Amino acid sequence: MRASILPIRSSEAIHRAIRLMEVGKPVIVPTDTVYGLATMAVSEAAIQRLYKIRGREREPALPFLIVDADEMPGLAQPNNAALQLARRFWPGLLTLILPPAPGLPAFLKATPIAVRMPNFAPLVPLLVAAGGHLIITGALRSGYPPAITVKEAAEFFGESVALILDGGTAPYGIPSTIVDCITKPPSIVRRGAIGDRPIWKALGQKVPESFAEDL
């Protein structure tokens, strides 16, 4: 059965997406970077289902999108470096890897937490309805670029999910940059929408030779 496609700005779409995710069924949502497979952090089974649909192993750090920076301490343990980067680049195209917050359920603490505050107003009502955050991983298949339109998302996953939220073409169309803030000093583990130099400048650090070239 093919997924239904509804505009993300529709309240009906938001309510339907929340009902599905509350019972552990992922939906596809638009973000500022690429389309993503989303689920609520309701159980380990919900997370496993998301990655089964994606056809990939679970990522080294569990990826959350948050509605605002105040959500970060409830999910992760931010240090000074993370706070500096969040102040400089959020909302925006930077993901931070941090230790999980002590109060999280055990199934969410199996790996570090990757957290980002997107710069995409259409996604805000869904994040608010979900309690301030969602687990969202890129809607992509091995060997293909990530989906940046609803048509591409439907081609990849239209048979695997019940609902796709249409937010038009992703504004940036490139994954976020990921910085591991657990390491000392922080390290860039995925180059993406933000170049290296602005990150090191925000941290007040010298640009390492291995990351001397901006995108």
Q: Give the integer Cα–Cα distance in Å for 170 and 142.
A: 20
pLDDT value of position 209: 63
What phi and psi values does residue 48 have, to the nearest 5 degrees? -60, -40
Rg (Cα) of the chain, in Å, rounded? 17
Cβ(193)–Cβ(88) below 8 Å: no
Q: Give the integer Cα–Cα distance in Å for 153 and 41.
A: 22
pLDDT value of position 210: 58
Task: Produce one character per residue of 9-33: b if its CB has 16 or more CB atoms within 10 Å, e if not.
Answer: eeeebbebbbebbeebbbbbbbbbb
Reduced DSSP (H G I as helix, E B as strand, rest coil) percent helix, strand, coil of the chain, to 5: 35, 20, 45
Q: Give the integer Cα–Cα distance in Å for 181 and 96.
A: 6
**Which neighbouring-strand residues pair with 116?**
65
Sheet order of strands, 27-29 included: 4-7, 163-166, 27-29, 36-39, 133-138, 62-66, 113-116, 94-98, 177-180, 187-190
Amino acid at 209: E
Q: Is this structure's pTM higher than 0.85?
A: yes
Nearest to 7, CA basis, from 36, 24, 23, 29: 29
Q: Give the integer Cα–Cα distance in Å for 127 and 48.
A: 21
**Which neighbouring-strand residues pair with 29?**
36
Task: Please give the domain boundaries of the chain with CATH numbers for all domains.
Answer: 4-203 (3.90.870.10)
Tens-digit pLDDT profile for the chain (215 aa)? Answer: 789 999 999 999 999 999 999 999 999 999 999 999 999 999 999 999 999 998 877 889 999 999 999 999 999 999 999 999 999 999 999 999 999 999 999 999 999 999 999 999 999 999 999 999 999 999 988 788 899 999 999 999 999 999 999 999 999 999 999 999 999 999 999 999 899 999 999 998 776 665 545 44
Q: Give the integer Cα–Cα distance in Å for 46 and 44.
A: 5
pLDDT value of position 150: 97
